Amino acid sequence: MSDDSNLIERFLEMLVAETGASQHTLSAYRTDLEQASMIAGGRLSSADRETLKNLPAHWRKLQNSTVARKSSSLRRFFGFLVEEGFRESDPSDALPKPALVRSLPKTLSHAEIALLFELIAEGLGREPVKSSVVRLSAILELLYGSGLRASELVGLQRSSITSDKPYLIIKGKGGKERLVPISQQARAAVHRWNEHVDPKEKWLFPSRTGHISRIRLFQIIREHAVKAGINPAKISPHVLRHAFATHLLEGGADLRALQTLLGHSDISTTQIYTHIDSARLVELVNKRHPLSQVNLAR
């Protein structure tokens, strides 16, 4: 095994041990580093600034977001090499830092959220109540009511939520734990669903092989959107998380509190929601201000 191959493997092992990186994340890092190593003739780990300056020539046809990701992968790799004593200096300041235009996340209006829950209320009011409706009620209450990630929701154990505890401890990205408040309504929905789950089951939302997958969760949410008359292309578990954050901010939530609730390690990630709120305010002025009704081109 070459030095590059050996050090890349050690770097990936570090990511797993220290951050709990997913297989998808590891695969992306591996691809970026192995491609850079090939360009550097198998001597990436010992490359100098001049060598790194040649890399962008091979990235010319790539989008800014891809170049930014590759540069980030290499910076983290060289930081690891210096920290572990495999080299003395970090040449990664020679890598490009392309400007990125961060797109606003999709979200749902209050009216669209109301449609989702109204349909569930109708289903819960019928006799007999379908088990799928009870499960969907618990899912939506947790996704929109607490802002859980899809991976966090499907991995919930039955013992995670109890009627006497208004919160749960979630282990999110990188194995970091955070406290998530659970509303009384959500706890009631989960309690109803628990009555439909075999007490021997470990998972809150079980499947034949363990717990339901993120793909199945995605399908469940979109099927419900269609029944509620909402374009299924507009909705996903992550969109419900965005709606949770956006509507809290509109209601006056503090940005730091929102950062904690969402489990963002960096406040800059949370600040994207201020742009959503700003966009709403601009639209409000353009539509409602008296001058918007006046034709000034006379």
Instruction: Put residue 120 in one of left, alpha, beta given phi > 0 → left and psi -120 to 50 → alpha.
Output: alpha
Query: Which residue among the candidates 70, 187, 211, 241 is catalytic per the annotation?
Result: 241
Q: Based on the residue annotation, tell me whether 149 is a catalytic residue of this protein.
A: yes
211 is catalytic: no
Asked if residue 273 lies in contact with residue 245, where contact means CB atoms within 8 angstroms, the answer is yes
Q: Active-site residue among 149, 187, 211, 224?
A: 149
- Whose CA is closest to 6, among 75, 67, 84, 95? 84
Exactly one of 30, 214, 238, 247 is catalytic; which is it? 238
Q: Which of 280, 294, 281, 276 is nearest to 106 (CA)?
A: 276
E strand spans, 160-240: 167-171, 177-181, 206-207, 210-211
Catalytic member of 30, 76, 106, 173: 173
* 239 vs 203: CA distance, rounded Å: 24
Is 173 noted as a catalytic residue in this protein?
yes
In the residue annotation, 264 being an active-site residue is answered as yes
Angstrom distance (rounded) from CA 214 to CA 31: 24
Pick from 133, 124, 113: which is nearest to 241 by CA? 113
Active-site annotation, residues: 149, 173, 238, 241, 264, 273
